[in-house]
Amino acid sequence: MSSETVTSAGYIKHHLQNLTFGQHPDGTWGLAHSAEQAKEMGFWAIHVDTMGYSVVLGLLFLWLFRKAAKNATAGVPGGLQNFVEWIVEFIDTSVRGSFSGRNDLVAPLALTIFIWIFLMNLMDLVPVDWIPQVATWVGVHAFGADPHHVYMKVVPTTDPNATFGMAFAVFFLVLYYSFKVKGIGGFMGELTLQPFQSKNAIIQTVFIPVNFILEFVSLIAKPISLALRLFGNMYAGEMIFILIALMFNAGLALGVFGGFLQLGWAIFHILIITLQAFIFMTLTIVYLDMAHHAH
């Protein structure tokens, strides 16, 4: 941001705004220079920072694990091989404990979800002003942009577009295997013949719409809760880091206190970012297991 005086509210809003690319009302395409312009771009606008960091971190995951696989040895393993083997064994144990069906996709999917979400969450430990300041410097000196209009969010999982994208991908897999394993009749039976049942055909017919509403809401709630849980926890964590950063401009005493507070929250946040990746992965395994078995 520029050297002009910036209010606390302005600082927070600036750090919570995504770098958005889309179509302006006049028909031209470009980056949004304010939250209002980003809103005007509508549904098809792209959050460039979310997409960019997600892709880069995904490629980093693939590169690290490919490097470990290529350099794997039957002798004394190196540090990277030890780490990757520990992760793979941990994921394998989780899948064996939660998934009772037979599907070669589940374990690789669980590994990808856990590592990818963990890396995206890990970006929250980067000091909130470091990367945005670099982006501002590049925007001002390379493109002549107004520093107040250069946005950069570095934690993809604080963007609901990213968390809902992953949750809906899992949901589509759940629907696919539900139809494949159980058939249309079996899957529709799960949605209409429980939890209320009766041996009387007339009463059971009356129960069908009630059961469908209850089961359909339960089905739809899975991806929504999966996405919002991850987004809400990471967004709250990022907000706390931003609020702590404001303390560094509030005098020496609050600055020193903010430094200790930031260190303590960062250490505690390591647990949160790991736990959220684990929860997302575990629920994915459980949902896929449910899709492979009749009620």
Between 5 and 162, name the one with better pLDDT: 162
Q: Please give the share of the chain, as a percent, with pLDDT higher than 70.
A: 98
Q: What is the mean pLDDT of residues 186-200?
A: 87
pLDDT at position 141 over 80 = yes
Is-contact 224 167, C-beta < 8 A? yes
pLDDT at site 252: 85
pLDDT at site 217: 94
Between 178 and 75, name the one with better pLDDT: 178
Q: What is the mean pLDDT of residues 47-63?
A: 97
Query: Please, what is the average pLDDT of the chain?
Result: 91
Residues serving a catalytic function are 225, 229, 233
What is the pTM for the complete model shown? Answer: 0.92
pLDDT at site 5: 60
d(CA 294, CA 215): 14
Between 286 and 8, name the one with better pLDDT: 286
Summarize pLDDT for 84-96 with one digit per residue, the tens.
999 999 999 999 9
Q: What is the mean pLDDT of residues 138-153?
A: 87
Range of weakest confidence among 145-159, 187-201, 202-216: 187-201
For the chain, list the strands marked E by DSSP.
20-23, 29-31, 46-47
pLDDT at position 46 over 50 = yes
Q: Which amino acid is at 50?
A: T
Is-contact 196 211, C-beta < 8 A? yes
Between 164 and 79, name the one with better pLDDT: 164
Nearest to 187 by CA among 113, 28, 31, 293: 293
Q: Please give the share of the chain, as a percent, with pLDDT higher than 90.
A: 71
pLDDT at site 1: 44
Summarize pLDDT for 243-282 with one digit per residue, the tens.
999 998 888 888 899 899 999 999 999 999 999 999 999 9
d(CA 59, CA 56): 5
Q: What is the mean pLDDT of residues 284-295?
A: 89
